[in-house]
Structure 1
Amino acid sequence: MKVFVTLGPDQRQAASDAAAAEAAGFDGVSTGEHLFFHGATPNAFVSLAAAAGATSRIRLLSSLTILPLYSAALAAKLAIGLDQVSEGRFDFGIGVGGEFPGEFTAAGVPARERGPRTNEALDVLTRLFTGETTEFHGTYTHVPGLRIMPPPIQAGGPPLWVGGRRPAALRRAGRFADVWFPYMYTPEQLADSLTVVRQHAERHGRDPTTITGAIHCWGGVDDDPARPLARGGRRCRRRNLSAGLQPPRRPVSPARDAGACTRPNSGVPRRRGGCAGLLSCRVGGAAHSHRRVLRAGGTRRDPEPTLIVYKYSAHHNCLVV
C-alpha cells in the first residue's frame, strides 16, 4: 500500500511540508485545487512545483485538478513541465468539478459542458504526452500539427488519476485512467466500481489489469485514539443526519473497512457533507499539528494492496484518505 499526505491550503508551507512528508516516509504528497471556493485553496501545479524542489523521492499528485477550467493544451504543458522539474515524479489527478459553479462562470466555461470538455481534454492530453506531433480538431480544442517540447520524462506522460462518482466518471476512467480515484466510497464500492472501470477499459482495447484504485476516507489524530472517533462521529451527525445520512457505527481500517456515511438503503454516499469512515491514530503533541500528521501517518503501513491517499485538513482537524 502506498500512502500520500495532502499539503495544506497555505502554499507558503508547500515546500517545507513536502520535505517533512518525505523525511517521515510517506510515498507522496498531494493537493487539490479550485479557482474560487468557500475558503483558501491552492493551485496544484504551483504547490507541487514547490514540493518538487524540496524533495527527491516522493510522488507528487494533483488531487484533483479541475481539468475543464483549463484549455487542454495549456493543461498538457503545465503537467509536462511539472513532470520535468520533478524528474518524473508527477501523477496527474483530474476531475470535472462542479460543486462551486461560480468558478466556471469566472473562467468562461459553462458548467454543463464540464464532462464533454474533460473527455476531449483527456484525449488531447494522451496524444500530447507522447511527445509526438499532434493533429487534433475537436469541439473545444484544435491542435494544428504541433508538439510540446521538451516531452515528459515519464514514458507516455504522467499517470492519470481520474476522479468522480457517477457512471460517466467510471466510463471516463475506463478509457483514460491509470488509477480510478473516487471520493467517499466504501471498500466494497471501490471494488465494485473498479470492476466496472476495468470492463470499460476492455471495451476500449486496454489491458484492465493496468488500472488500480485509490480511495478517500476520514480520520483524526489525537493523543487519545477515542477522541477523534467521537469528534468525527459528532461532526457526521451534525452535518449529515439532516440530509438523511447515516454515520459510521464503528472505527474502521482505511484499507479494509472504510465505512461511509450514506443515504439509507442507497449504497451510495452523498457527494457533499458526508464522511467516508473514521480512522484513529495516537501521536504526541498538539492534536491539530500538521507535522504530527506527517509523523504519525508516515510510519503507518498496511499489507492490503489498496492505494490510500491521506489528506490533512486543518479546518476539520482530520485526515481525508
Structure 2
Amino acid sequence: MTAPSIGYLLPTRERVMTGEHETGPLLALAERAEALGFASVWVGDSVTARPRHDPMTLMAAVAARTRHLSIGTAVLLPALRNPVLLAHQWATLDRISEGRVILGAGIGSDVPNIRDEFEACGVSWEKRLGRMMEALRLCRALWSGEPVTWDGRWRLKPGTVLGPTPHRPGGPPIWVAGSAPATIERVGRHFDGWFPNGPDPTQYAETWRAMREAACAAGRSPSVITGAAYLTLAIDDDAHRAEDRMSRFLERYYSTRPDIMRKRQACFAGSRDAARDWLAAYAAAGVEHFCLRFAGDHERHMDEIAGLRDEIGH
C-alpha cells in the first residue's frame, strides 16, 4: 500500500467568522505547512452561506509563496461560476503554480443558507448537478487549447479558443465530493479523484471498491483515480477537552447542533495516538490523500500531525 499524502485546510472561514479578514496570516500558515512537510494546502469555497476568502484568488497567492505544495479547493461549487471564466482562472492558476492545483468540486449541501447562496448568485438550485457536470466538461474542452464550439447552457461560437492553456496537458485534476450511489458512477467514469467528508473507514472502503469497479466498467484504469478524504480533527490528550473543542467548533461553524454535524461529517476528537490510529484506518480503507481540517489551535495541530506523519505515511 502506498503511503497517503497529508494536506491541511486553511482556516479561511474561521478567520472571517472572528473578524480577522487579513490574508497575511493565512499565507504564513501555508508556508508553515510546506516547511513541516505537508503535501498540500486546501481552501474552502462559499460566497454568502459561509463567508470566506475567494478561493482562486487566495490560491494564486499561496502558489506564489510556496514551491512544492499541491493547492486545491475543498470544495469549489462550479455551478456558481460561468465555466468559461472558471476555465480561464484555473488555466492561469495552473500556470502560476506550475502544475500544482487540484480542482475539488461539489454540488453543495441541501441546506437553507446554501440554497440562498445560489439564489444570490442568480443560479437555479434545481439544475445545479447538470450545470456542474456541463461546466466541468466545458472547462476540459477549453483547457485543450483547441477551438471549441458549444451549444448547451452556454454557447460558444465556432473557433472559440482559451489561452493560456494549463501547465499540465488536459488541465488540473478534478476531484469530486459526495458518497451517493450516483457519485460512484460519476467519479468512476469521468473524474480524477473522489473527495468525500462523510463516510467512516468501513463505508469508505466499500464505496472506494465500487468506484474502482465503475472505472473498470467504463474502460478506465482505477489507478487514474485518487482516493481522498476531508476529515476534521481536535487532538488533545484530555478526551473531554477534545470533545468539547470539537462540539464548539462545529456548532459555531455550521450554526447547527454538533451531534447532527457529526453524523454528516467524519470527525475525530481525542489523543494523538488515537488520531494516528483513526487516520491509519482510513489509509487502510484506501485513502491516498488526506485534507485535514483542525478545530482551532492550528499551529499545535500542524505540529502534532507532522510528528505522527511517518507513522501513517506521508
TM-score bracket for the superposition, by shorter chain length: 0.7 to 0.9
Partner of 1:30: 42
Tell me what 1:317 maps to. none
Match of 1:44 among 55, 58, 63: 55
| Deviation of the 1:295 alpha carbon | 2.5
- 2:172 pairs with one of 143, 146, 158: 158
Aligned partner of 1:85 in structure 2 is 96
| TM, length-normalised to structure 2 | 0.78
Q: Give 1:60-139 correspondences, 5 Å limit.
A: 60-98=71-109, 99=111, 100-138=114-152
The share of aligned pairs that are identical, in percent, is 29
Tell me how far 1:57 sits from its aligned partner.
Answer: 0.8
CA distance in 2, matches of 1:85, 1:225: 43
Q: State how far apart, in whole Å, the 2-side matches of 1:80 and 1:231 are.
A: 42
Aligned to 1:290: 298
So what's the TM-score if we normalise by structure 1?
0.76
Change (3 A) 1:228 1:135: farther
The alpha carbon displacement at 1:297 in A equals: 2.3
Unaligned runs of 5+ in 2: 16-21, 283-291
Amino acid at match of 2:120: A
Residue 255 (1) aligns with residue 279 (2): yes
Deviation at 1:127, TM superposition (A): 1.6
Q: How far 1:160 moved relative to its partner?
A: 0.8
Closer, same or farther: CA 245–35 of 1 in aligned 2, 3 Å:
closer
Secondary structure of the equivalent of 1:30?
strand
Question: Measured at CA, do residues 129 and 240 of structure 1 come closer, stay the same or move farther in structure 2, by a change above 3 Å?
Answer: same
- C-alpha displacement of 1:148: 1.4
Aligned residues: 278
* Partner Cα separation in structure 1 for residue 246 and residue 301 of structure 2: 20
Pairing 1:189–2:203 present:
yes
Q: Report how far residue 151 of structure 1 moved.
A: 0.6
Cα deviation code 1:83-115 (max 9, x no counterpart) = 111111111111111431111001111111110
**What does residue 235 of structure 2 align with?**
221
Native 8 Å contact 1:187 1:256 kept in 2: no
Q: SS of the counterpart of 1:257? A: helix
Q: CA deviation at 1:256?
A: 3.3
Cα distance in structure 2, aligned partners of 1:77 and 1:233: 38
- Retained in 2: the 8 A contact 1:14–1:50? no
Q: State the alpha-carbon separation in 2 of the partners of residues 243 and 210 from structure 1.
A: 32
3-state SS, counterpart of residue 92 of structure 1: strand
Q: Equivalent residue for 1:142?
A: 155
Contact 1:59 1:91 in 2 (8 A): yes
RMSD across aligned positions (CA)? 3.1
- Asked if the contact 2:235–2:301 (Cα under 8 Å) also holds between the matched residues in 1, the reply is yes
For each residue in 1:242-285, what CA deviation from the matched residue of structure 2 results, as whole angstroms up to 9, or x when unmatched? 79959989845343336xxxxxxxxxxxxxxxxxxx999xxxxx
User: Deviation per CA, 1:279-309, whole angstroms, max 9, x where unpaired?
Assistant: 99xxxxxx9432223333233325667x9xx
Of 47, 52, 57, the residue aligned with 2:68 is 57
- 1:149 to 1:290, Cα distance in 2 relative to 1, 3 A: same
8 Å CA contact retained: 1:162, 1:180: yes
* 1:202 alignment partner in structure 2: 216
The more displaced of 239-248 and 129-138 is: 239-248
Which residue in the other structure is 1:231 paired with? 244
